[in-house]
Structure 1
Amino acid sequence: MNRKNKWIIYGIGLSLLLGGCMNMENANGNGVDEKKNTQDEVKDQYARVQDYKGEGYFLNNGDENDKIAEAKSEEVEKAVKDFFLEKYKTEVKVHNLVGNVDGVTVFVESSGPVHFYSFAIVPINQETKEINAEEVRSQEDVVEEGIREGLYNLIFEEEFKNLENYLEGVVSEKEVVGRTVESLQNVGGSGFMTPYYTLTSFYGDEAIQPVFDLYMENPDAKIEDLKSAFNKDSFDKEYLNINIILFMKEEKVSPSKSILEKVSNDLESMDSIPNGTYQIIINDNGVHKESSEGYKDNSIKTELIKSK
């Protein structure tokens, strides 16, 4: 998958989902009433970003497995915790269980200084309704990516703190907001995430790989040793995306071009924030409940590159 386009995939998926709803307006030839009902249904699919904590999120054909997982939640949680500890030497907290067609998707958050969100998939035997604890898995490179991003945040803690402070200042002006922490915990599952920005570190990043290897060998390695392992000469800005995602505070307000330009100009002039490829996105106030996505047709975005 093209590295630069990965961050927008969920937006494309949402557009396809909504397209199916929008095209139903005239399916039955019922005119204004049918159109009004469809508009109301589409509106009901969204929540204010300030209120959204993951309620309504679902995965296709997962209703039955969702019930099984809830009934056996202790068994599911233990299987996932053991999976992360044995394969990645990382302790995790379980936040949410969501049934899927083959089992249950479990959203977790790492414990300890290397912080990231992720998920694992626990299969359920469809005949016996038993949990297959020995076959827990995750998607290719998802957990590894989360660890790399957590390591980036740890190594460049001061720079990321400067970025966080700046974004908090933008939000304090009360025109835009970020996501709730609860939504990140319950349905995030995508590496290092904060209410205002996420990271994406791609496979093949030679700069962070020695740090990753050291962490996997010794998760208790000192921060100084992890920093020393970073291969700064091999750093490539295209391997680290910093995705700033903000939402309009008020409902029924279009994404602000002036805020997008201000954030972009401010970041371009700052020398105290991390290097990388920045994607800046401003959405309206709504979050799609079922997918947790905020990117829509009216969202606006820009990109800049920081490379000191």
Structure 2
Amino acid sequence: MVTKNKWFICGIAFPLLLGGCANGNGVNEKEYPKKQVKNQFVSVQEYIGEGYTLKNGEETDKIAEGKREEVEKAVKDFFLKEYKTEVHVHNIVGNIDGATVFVESTNPLHFYTYAVVPIDQSNKKILSDDVFSQEGQVEGAITEGLYRKIFKDEFDRLEEYLEKIVKEEPVTGRTIESLQNVGGSGYMTPYYFLSSSVSNDEAIKPVYELYMEDPRVSREKLRAAYNEQAFIPTYFEVVINLFMKDKETDPDEKVFNRVVNDIESMDDIPKGTYSIFVNDNTVLKQSFEGVKENSLEKTTPDEIFKE
């Protein structure tokens, strides 16, 4: 199975850079005392990434901001060289050995991801030639963007449904700004994100290879390359993540049950494995984490399978 629930594992799935993370149910109480945790939660409608931190990144954050143009150029050059992808830099966050740079690709695929720019702290030097990404992170983001592209109609239907839910029920999603500034997790919308791995998913692998040969290849050719017979639902996950609109409100079980039942019955949305979370109104500023002990969830090992 692919890496599941990447936001819920460790912020956005880079534990080596984060240097400590939340448990599967949300906040790590050993790392964040209850009083401190309470003070660090913010309404999801207000959160745009402010307060997001990586362990021991204070000094590198200052260096990176002071040389922002150099950092941005290094990252843009990296994505063009390694992935033939133009990106827009949204946010730079210092980490223990450098800067984690959050970017967005919008054409020809749309996804969010990040790269790491090492910094020589003693000389305050940006190591532009040593930029790297976490293994499989960008490849997964491209894979998710490809799924969204070749199954456009199915994803449109899913997004229309979630927008309807938000209009009819007392729930909402994350802000676009938070996705841009601290998302970094592949194809994401305010209401869901995807989880995929080209190394495991034989169905999408020929699509990925065709795209990497020519990123301007047509949607029709990409769709024709997709190996439908090789598709295994557990290698492609859709994670629906909704929040209560009102502050100081517990997750609504009625809304949760409606979404679960609707997703189970819909047959015109993307194939794959679906996890569903309904959370209260808050996220933890430092980590982008929204799933907590009071969250309602239908996930491993009880996901919804669409084959």
TM-score above 0.5, yes or no = yes
> CA offset at residue 113 of structure 1?
2.8
Q: Hey, what's the Cα distance between the residues in 2 that align with 1:118 and 1:90?
A: 12
Q: Hey, what's the Cα distance between the residues in 2 that align with 1:13 and 1:304?
A: 19
In 2, are the aligned partners of 1:14 and 1:291 still within 8 Å (CA)?
Answer: no
Aligned counterparts, 1:183-202, within 5 A: 183-202=178-197
Q: Deviations over 1:44-97 (max 9, x none)?
A: 201100000000001011111111111100000000000000000010000000
Q: Hey, what's the Cα distance between the residues in 2 that align with 1:19 and 1:172?
A: 38
* Aligned partner of 1:172 among 145, 167, 176: 167
Q: Hey, what's the Cα distance between the residues in 1 that align with 2:24 and 2:56?
A: 17
Q: Deviations over 1:212-260 (max 9, x none)?
A: 0011110111111111111111011011000000001111111112111
Q: Hey, what's the Cα distance between the residues in 2 that align with 1:225 and 1:101?
A: 43
Q: Label 1:162 to 1:15 Cα distance change in 2 as closer, same or farther (>3 A).
A: closer
User: What corresponds to 1:73 in structure 2?
Assistant: 68
Q: Label 1:124 to 1:20 Cα distance change in 2 as closer, same or farther (>3 A).
A: closer
Moved more, 250-259 or 46-55: 250-259
Q: Hey, what's the Cα distance between the residues in 1 that align with 2:3 and 2:94?
A: 29
> CA offset at residue 103 of structure 1?
0.6
In 2, are the aligned partners of 1:54 and 1:289 still within 8 Å (CA)?
Answer: yes
Q: Hey, what's the Cα distance between the residues in 2 that align with 1:5 and 1:108?
A: 20
Q: Label 1:20 to 1:123 Cα distance change in 2 as closer, same or farther (>3 A).
A: closer
User: What corresponds to 1:244 in structure 2?
Assistant: 240
- 2:39 paired with 1:44: yes
Q: Hey, what's the Cα distance between the residues in 2 that align with 1:7 and 1:289?
A: 13
Q: Hey, what's the Cα distance between the residues in 1 that align with 2:196 and 2:2?
A: 13
In 2, are the aligned partners of 1:201 and 1:240 still within 8 Å (CA)?
Answer: yes
User: What corresponds to 2:126 in structure 1?
Assistant: 131
> CA offset at residue 2 of structure 1?
6.2
TM-align CA RMSD: 1.6
* Aligned partner of 1:143 among 131, 138, 156: 138
Q: Label 1:13 to 1:121 Cα distance change in 2 as closer, same or farther (>3 A).
A: farther
User: What corresponds to 2:13 in structure 1?
Assistant: none
Q: Hey, what's the Cα distance between the residues in 2 that align with 1:199 and 1:141?
A: 14
User: What corresponds to 1:19 in structure 2?
Assistant: 30
SS in 2 for 1:280: strand
User: What corresponds to 2:203 in structure 1?
Assistant: 207
Unmatched runs of 5 consecutive residues or more in structure 1: 23-37
User: What corresponds to 1:86 in structure 2?
Assistant: 81
Q: Hey, what's the Cα distance between the residues in 2 that align with 1:4 and 1:61?
A: 27
Q: Deviations over 1:117-175 (max 9, x none)?
A: 00000000122111000000010000000000000000001100100000000000240
Q: Hey, what's the Cα distance between the residues in 1 that align with 2:81 and 2:155?
A: 30
User: What corresponds to 1:8 in structure 2?
Assistant: 8
More helix by share: 1
Unmatched runs of 5 consecutive residues or more in structure 2: 11-21
* Aligned partner of 2:274 among 274, 278, 283: 278
Q: Hey, what's the Cα distance between the residues in 1 that align with 2:83 and 2:64?
A: 23
Which portions of structure 1, spanning 4 or more consecutive aligned residues, are displaced by more than 4 angstroms?
A: 4-7, 13-16
In 1, are the aligned partners of 2:253 and 2:296 still within 8 Å (CA)?
Answer: yes
User: What corresponds to 1:31 in structure 2?
Assistant: none
- 2:226 paired with 1:230: yes
> CA offset at residue 264 of structure 1?
1.0
SS in 2 for 1:153: helix
Q: Label 1:70 to 1:4 Cα distance change in 2 as closer, same or farther (>3 A).
A: closer
> CA offset at residue 15 of structure 1?
4.2
Q: Hey, what's the Cα distance between the residues in 2 that align with 1:116 and 1:49?
A: 21
* Aligned partner of 1:57 among 52, 55, 63: 52
SS in 2 for 1:95: strand
User: What corresponds to 1:25 in structure 2?
Assistant: none
In 1, are the aligned partners of 2:52 and 2:182 still within 8 Å (CA)?
Answer: yes
Q: Hey, what's the Cα distance between the residues in 2 that align with 1:67 and 1:2?
A: 36
Q: Hey, what's the Cα distance between the residues in 2 that align with 1:2 and 1:119?
A: 19
Q: Hey, what's the Cα distance between the residues in 1 that align with 2:101 and 2:254?
A: 39
User: What corresponds to 1:29 in structure 2?
Assistant: none
- TM value normalised by structure 2: 0.91
> CA offset at residue 6 of structure 1?
4.8
